[in-house]
Amino acid sequence: MKKINITSLITFIVLSLLLFNCENNDDNSEVINADTYSSMDVLIQALKPSAQTFTIDPTTDETVTGADGTIISINANAFTDDNNNLIGTPVTVKLREHLTLEDMILANVQTSSNNQILVTGGSFSLTFEDENGSSINVNPWAIQAQIPVQTDITGYENQMQYYKGESSIVDNREMVDWELVTNSQADLGNGIFFISGLDQGFANCDVLYDMAGDTPTQFEVSVSDVTDYSETTVWMVIEDFPSVIMISSLNDTRTALSTYENSIPTGLNATLIAISVDEDNYLKFGSLPVTVLGDDVFNIDLDYGTTQELTTLIQNIAN
């Protein structure tokens, strides 16, 4: 029997292992540094800030102050149950403040009313629950709010009004639309927006952007490597005045997202932020500064990334 050369055998085994490892490394050479989400909606919920909670005695006058300075004043006996009985047991106040453009994007709260752009001085959401966690009825005139305006609304100070927001699903996306409230009292003074006659839900210090003298237009946004836009969102952070708009409607060929016709002033300066969850559930995002010239078509390239990197990008653009 032919003897096996031990040195040759060892050399063969070592080379085989090296070859196997090289092939294995080639198969896994692309390491994706990105967070994963099962859907865009799950990402949206993850980005939202947690509610600030307060427990109050509904039989006495109470005041709660949010971390960013929003003050909610609540008169005694403001709450009733479905049988119109006064609630005397502890009530939980839940407050979410959206006083900066960054806050608004992370909270998924855009600033538009019936597809028209709003100039915003900040917003918040407010809900009340009984000790069982159930919603309760509120006397609006027993609730007052003070919003410390943190955005630059120079030129619009004397026009700001109280808008109430409604959340709904539009084009498979959660969105907030704002409607002017006429049966309330609101005033801005010394950087504080006062509201009386405040109902629970979304509240905003806003005014419609005045398109007078502007040439209205629209534009489209395509996103690299995206064919199904159901898991992609594009935000427009306006630089000329404080406002953030979610662009969500598909164009006629369903190949890009589009703003509404005649909704954008020509010459507008903004930065677009595209956020997507790809078919493998990886987070991707990118941004693009733009100046709207009229009927433009913009394209945004995306890169993989983490939630923290996305938050930092939003912070850098929105501030």
Please state, as a whole number, how many other Cβ atoms lie within 10 Å of the Cβ of residue 133.
Answer: 7
The whole-number pLDDT of residue 33 equals 95
pLDDT at 170: 79
Residue by residue, pLDDT tens for the chain (319 residues) are 444 555 554 555 545 554 545 444 444 457 899 999 999 999 999 999 999 999 999 999 999 999 999 999 999 999 999 999 999 999 999 999 999 999 999 999 999 999 999 999 999 999 999 999 999 999 999 999 999 999 999 999 999 999 999 998 877 788 999 999 999 999 999 999 999 999 899 999 999 999 999 999 999 999 999 998 999 999 999 999 999 999 989 999 999 999 999 999 999 999 999 999 999 999 999 999 999 999 999 999 999 999 999 999 999 999 8
Domains delineated in the chain? 49-208 (2.60.220), 211-318 (2.60.40)
Rg (CA), the chain: 26
In this prediction, residue 57 carries a pLDDT of: 98
Contact predicate 285/232, CB 8 Å:
no
Burial 174-184 (b: 16+ CB within 10 A, else e): bbbbbebbeeb
Dihedrals φ, ψ of 47, to 5°?
Answer: -75, -25
| DSSP, res 157 | G
Closest listed residue to residue 175, CA positions, set 245, 97, 250: 245
